[in-house]
A and B are shown apart, each in its own frame.
Chain A
């Protein structure tokens, strides 16, 4: 793949195909889906780092043969996904159309730019696109209007997944000379501030929203000219990484880790990468390749349906990666099913009791079968809201006042002294099952009875109004925060809001005062005990969109 990436790094692709039309893209995706093979779209390769070990599955290269641009009257243009942006900008200028000049210096394709809403000098491709045609994984073509795409800084969320094949643009009538003059000015600025003619994938990190630019932060921590092997942060622009000759993906990743850690120590900011990575380069890649993976799903908890979806998605993803996968429903005689399948490793996709509470983890420890996720103790503590809350409170995370009801106290419960409104939760359930927000005494008994249906222990907490933030952790790596904005009338992120498309807005990056967000990430991402994989959620309270003060109420964690 090194010949297909601008940084000149990457092992071999299992399959590389070069479609010549939208129809051929449809045929390729349909056949690869039928063969259950993973498919990736490759544009200009300018924002891409491919693992030294290469990538499995099929890479669809659009740049070679998907390069048509058509202009129609009224300032509209239709461009294939493989059209390089500099060429697109020049053709627009030749047609006396304005609006694409700022994109003329980006060494990527139309499709790649639309995937991440690429842009420069205050203009992003999402500003001028009218519609996008996408081939979904089944091979069906969809035309999506721009108003249905959520564009934000270097991100684009589409209602349909798949490969971008073609797009329509709305441009302004202008003058060729003016457009070329603007492009020349911008290219001169670019050449003055960025490495030119070097092997690079462009910006390494995204600019953190509302804060200093990544290049400034990296320069402040002395990263200009820093090297790992032949990988080097440019001496001209600290956010550009250069391959000086024989750099591998591992060199690049070591240097990314160094830069990120230095900035974190300086400013308590975890920079998110702008470059995409193919081939699991962040971990000990593919160490279970060729082994049989048992995906544990279903089970007997109240979250069975959710688990079936999780397990199905994980199994499909692993199959697309080439793993032999056996799906095992953990109910009935599941022990016999495990023995019969002769699995080498267990991917736990169970939700709720017996799956997330340390039970299945303990069984696998006894059977000496390696498993994903957290261990027995962390799972057991995390599944109990009461226990988990005591742990996070012990490490200094502010929590809402609460009362625990169990045994006789649950038979005729009196409302706690902290009063209404309050939140009633069964102790050991997930997916918001059995959870109620109670505004006054009228709803108290019903809410307690509902929670009592699911557990013999019920946690009642003072209601804390605020904004809900989640911080994901994978193998100890803290991911960017996401704000959860449910559309339900109650404002509760309930089962329906979680699992019904369109019922919740997810905001990333989170528009929030920097100090508050840092405290949130610090609270949820670092101050809790070490864990493998977790979704930690909390409320930021007493805050407006600008934020004034914060405190955390841990609602759920699975570390």
Chain B
């Protein structure tokens, strides 16, 4: 997943930058999922 990948493209359309998207994914890190 780079800045031009599909998920960041869709997130950008929703107003979320690549950096914020990566942080959002990190924020959801956990165990026992």
Contacts and interface: CB of A to CB of B under 8 A. Distances in A.
A283 B27 contact: yes
A403 interface: no
A299 to B, nearest CB: 15
A286 B16 contact: no
B13 A272 contact: yes
A372 interface: yes
Interface stretch (A139-147, A363-371, A406-414, A453-461): A363-371
A341 interface: no
B29 A345 contact: yes
A480 B14 contact: yes
B25 A475 contact: yes
Interface residues of B, number: 31
Given A309-B2, A474-B24, A374 B14 contact: no
A545 B14 CA distance: 24
Nearest to B4: A501
A471 B19 CA distance: 20
A288 B27 contact: yes
A94 B24 CA distance: 47
Chain A interface size, as a band, is 35 or more
A23 B12 CA distance: 28
B3 A475 contact: no
A144 to B, nearest CB: 16
Interface string A279-316: 11011111110000100000000000000011001100
B2 to A, nearest CB: 4
Contacts of A252: none
Interface in A182-237: none
Contacts of B21: 474
Contacts of B14: 272-273, 479-480
A472 B15 contact: no
Given A274-B15, A313-B2, A375-B32, A482 B9 contact: yes
Interface string B1-33: 111111101110111111111111111111111
B7 A474 contact: yes
A368 B32 CA distance: 9
Given A288-B26, A472-B10, A506-B6, A374 B15 contact: no
Contacts of A506: 6, 9
A286 B23 contact: yes
A558 to B, nearest CB: 10
A143 B10 CA distance: 26
B9 A508 contact: yes
B19 to A, nearest CB: 5
A317 B24 contact: no
A375 B22 contact: no
Given A474-B25, A532-B28, A479 B20 contact: no
14 contacts: A283-B24, A288-B29, A314-B22, A317-B23, A320-B19, A346-B29, A369-B31, A372-B25, A372-B28, A372-B29, A375-B32, A474-B25, A482-B9, A501-B4
Interface of A: 38, 40, 155, 161, 272-280, 282-288, 293, 309-310, 313-314, 317-318, 320-321, 323, 345-347, 349, 364-365, 368-376, 378, 470-472, 474-475, 479-482, 484, 501, 506, 508-509, 532-533, 535
